[in-house]
Amino acid sequence: MSRLRVILAILLLIILVVIGIILPGLWKSGKNTSEKQTDLASSDREDSTPPEEMTDLEYTGFEKLSPFFPDSVTADLKALFPVYLQNSGRTEIKSVTFLPDETTYPDNNTTELFFQLSDSTRLPVQYIGDLGVLLFGDEEAEFSTEQQSYEKQTDDSLPTVTTDQVETRQEGGYDDITSTQTAGSEVSQ
């Protein structure tokens, strides 16, 4: 009888290990596939390429954005305006004017900008600094630009240094022995 119990205990242990290790992995892979399918469906709804008729928008006052944002964020803003206007069905808009006097700061990380459209309506755009996200309109619609990759800048004029050479160099350019001796001699005086 005890032999039978030992065998059952071992089988039960093996079953519990399989349930604890394999089933969560299967559950996660199934969940990731369903999330990818919903992401693809939502990306099909939000076409991020501006149509040809929307690329000729006139941007006035955008040079006044320089105190608020770097030029890259301003360029992203200009690229996302046609996408937002197309998705909101406002293709008749011909110009966008920045209203710098109406800029507000709802919290420490958010800047709310206002733009006057050619049909005399105001469009709020929020920039969340921590995330680098632009939210358009009262519905706070988020659109993304294409990922940009930046080339790593290198200086070929510098000499090549190995890790052994770095370890033998002094920190800060001073000899460690003389700096401790002068500090010790000043204290003793």
What is the three-state SS of the chain? CHHHHHHHHHHHHHHHHHHHHHHHHHHHHHHHHHHHHHHHHHHHHCCCCCCHHHCCCEEECHHHHCCCCCHHHHHHHHHHHHHHHHHCCCCCCCEEEECHHHCEEEECCEEEEEEEECCCCEEEEEEECCCCEEEECCCCEECCCCCCCCCCCCCCCCCCCCHHHHHHCCHHHCCHHHHHHHHHHHHHC
* Interval 34-65: pLDDT, tens: 555 555 444 444 444 444 445 577 888 888 88
Rounded to an integer, what is the distance from CA 121 to the centroid of its chain? 30
Q: Count of domains in the chain?
A: 1
Specify if 84 maps to a domain: yes
> What is the radius of gyration, based on Cα positions, of the chain?
30
| Residue (of 120, 151, 126) closest to 138 by Cα position | 126
Specify if 124 maps to a domain: yes
Specify if 136 maps to a domain: yes
Specify if 10 maps to a domain: no
Specify if 134 maps to a domain: yes
Which range marks the domain in which residue 134 is found? 52-142
Angle 86-91-95 (CA atoms, 0-180°, nearest 5)?
110
* Interval 16-27: pLDDT, tens: 888 888 888 877
Q: Are 94 and 116 in contact (CB under 8 A)?
A: no
The pLDDT of residue 122 is above 80: yes
Specify if 184 maps to a domain: no
* Interval 144-183: pLDDT, tens: 655 556 677 777 787 777 877 777 776 665 545 654 555 5
Specify if 89 maps to a domain: yes
pTM exceeds 0.85:
no
Q: Are 105 and 111 in contact (CB under 8 A)?
A: yes
